[in-house]
Amino acid sequence: MDKFDLMVIGSGSGLEVSADAAERGLSVAVVEEGPFGGTCLNRGCIPSKMLIHCADVMETIQGAHRFGITAKVESVDWQSIIRRVSEEVDGDARAVEEGNRQSTNITVFKGTGRFVGEKTLEVNGEKIQAETVLIAAGTRPSIPEIAGLEDVPYITSDEALRLPQQPGRLAIVGGGYIAGEMAHFFGAMGTQVTIIHRRLLMLREEDEDVARRFTEVYQRKFNMLLNAEVAQVSRNGDEIRLVVASDGRRVELAADALLLATGRIPNTDTLQVGETGVEVDQRGYIQTDQFLETNVPGIWALGDIVGKYLLKHSANLEAAYAANNILNPDDKVAVDYSAMPHAIFASPQVASVGLTEQELRAMGREYVVASYNYADTAYGSSIEDRDGFVKVLADPETGGILGTHIIGTDASILIQEVANAMRMGLTTDAITRSIYVHPALPEVVQRAFGALPV
């Protein structure tokens, strides 16, 4: 049995820890069953945003008439779009793997691993062991129980990013960020999209006003069945038939492809983490302390498999702390998750940092709130964004920023200044007393903060 100083399971953000350990001269085993780079590079944020940019370009062309410009799209080269993304992603993944294989002190084990004992992993029939273990093996798409699904060629976000042929009709089950982003991409490219969601609003984790506006916009753009459940699916040649129960009625529809976007689950079960004594919560996510160490001394975890935030920038943050805490056990530092922002690259974009209004109400916490529409600013009006707005929440006594929620053009960019202010512990004055370029879009953020009664 090969023994190492450190074993890292997963080749996403965990590689930051393995690289630091290898540089210090420790022997490191890196275990990965698929392409290197983790979910973000191969099946998540990178390829999806490359595809979504194509959708953004398409919407710009289709909306050109609003600005007195006559333009049309003559054709869409679907294979070229998919090939561009796949070649870049696959090239980066190969480069990451090759870099690890050539790195001094790192040994790569390519295959599916599962724990078979205390700090002992079996990969391709070979057992390896390490004094310190970092589990960063991520999550995978959750598959709901639907009658007939076993006989239907459904896809998840993994496959949706590499479809060789564009579907004419796409049924999406789910109402979260994946459903929102994929509906935007396929819909803008010309696919007829139907969204089936069990709730009345999409994006249930977002602030209620943002979720409501987003749902309203998507109802204008797509066929949506809300408060609905897929009761049964079947296959009729190349066609997929769905039976949907919606608001007490039975709806039947047909699609060329079925995308399941119903959340993600941790890979703790396939890893059999219980065999090494690691405890998980009721959802299956690994439980750690504030330093990212599990209940088993010497076994650590980070990223999506921890379930704190399923975000790449959160995993990168955790990796920096994990590297420090593993390599400097006498100087451990608790992870600071404060002001963790996130964004949804749909159309419209959504971005958020801090607490939502419904969360503040549930906490019984005092707050003041204000909103400002994009269209009420010079730049927002010039780009014809009639749906966008910024909503801010603050402490009425201290002026502390409690949360900011944005829907509209470049929301993913506009949220950053608020996240930075919150991270530094600044108050609303940091925004209202700053000098903003006029007539730039960030003015909408300052106007929202300026409308607060503090």
Q: What is the pLDDT along the chain (454 residues), one digit of tens a residue?
A: 899 999 999 999 999 999 999 999 999 999 999 999 999 999 999 999 999 999 999 999 999 999 999 999 999 999 999 999 999 999 999 999 999 999 999 999 999 999 999 999 999 999 999 999 999 999 999 999 999 999 999 999 999 999 999 999 999 999 999 999 999 999 999 999 999 999 999 999 999 999 999 999 999 999 999 999 999 999 999 999 999 998 889 999 999 999 999 999 999 999 999 999 999 999 999 999 999 999 999 999 999 999 999 999 999 999 999 999 999 999 999 999 999 999 999 999 999 999 999 999 999 999 999 999 999 999 999 999 999 999 999 999 999 999 999 999 999 999 999 999 999 999 999 999 999 999 999 999 999 999 999 8
Q: State CA 212 to chain mean position distance.
A: 20
- Alpha-carbon dihedral angle through residues 87, 93, 95, 100, given to the nearest 10 degrees: -170
- 2-141+265-331 CATH fold: FAD/NAD(P)-binding domain (3.50.50)
Q: Which alpha helices (DSSP H) does 103-195 contain, by range?
A: 157-160, 177-188
Both structure tokens of 79: 């294979």
Nearest to 90, CA basis, from 146, 34, 140: 34
Both structure tokens of 101: 């294989």
**β partners of residue 170:** 193, 257
Q: How many CA atoms lie within 13 A of 269 on its CB side?
A: 8
d(CA 252, CA 230): 10
Tell me the catalytic residues: 438
Residues 6+ apart with CB under 8 A from 207: 352, 356, 357, 358, 391, 403, 405
d(CA 133, CA 401): 38
pLDDT of residue 193: 98
CATH H-level, domain 149-262: superfamily: FAD/NAD(P)-binding domain (3.50.50.60)
d(CA 72, CA 341): 36
Classified as helix, coil or strand, 113 is strand
Residues 6+ apart with CB under 8 A from 411: 343, 348, 349, 350, 351, 388
* 287 secondary structure, DSSP code: P
Whether 173 and 144 have beta carbons less than 8 Å apart is answered as yes
* 419 secondary structure, DSSP code: H
Sign of the C-alpha dihedral, residues 209, 211, 214, 219?
A: negative
* pTM over 0.85, yes/no: yes
One-letter identity of residue 230 = V
CATH H-level, domain 342-450: superfamily: FAD/NAD-linked reductase, C-terminal dimerisation domain (3.30.390.30)
Both structure tokens of 275: 């065999």
Residue 130 backbone dihedrals phi, psi, to 5 degrees: -145, 150
Both structure tokens of 120: 């002992």
d(CA 91, CA 93): 5
Whether 174 and 157 have beta carbons less than 8 Å apart is answered as no
Q: How many CA atoms lie within 13 A of 338 on its CB side?
A: 12
pLDDT of residue 248: 82
Which residue spans of the chain are classified as CATH 3.50.50.60? Answer: 2-141+265-331, 149-262
Whether 411 and 349 have beta carbons less than 8 Å apart is answered as yes
Which residue spans of the chain are classified as CATH 3.30.390.30? Answer: 342-450
pLDDT of residue 88: 97
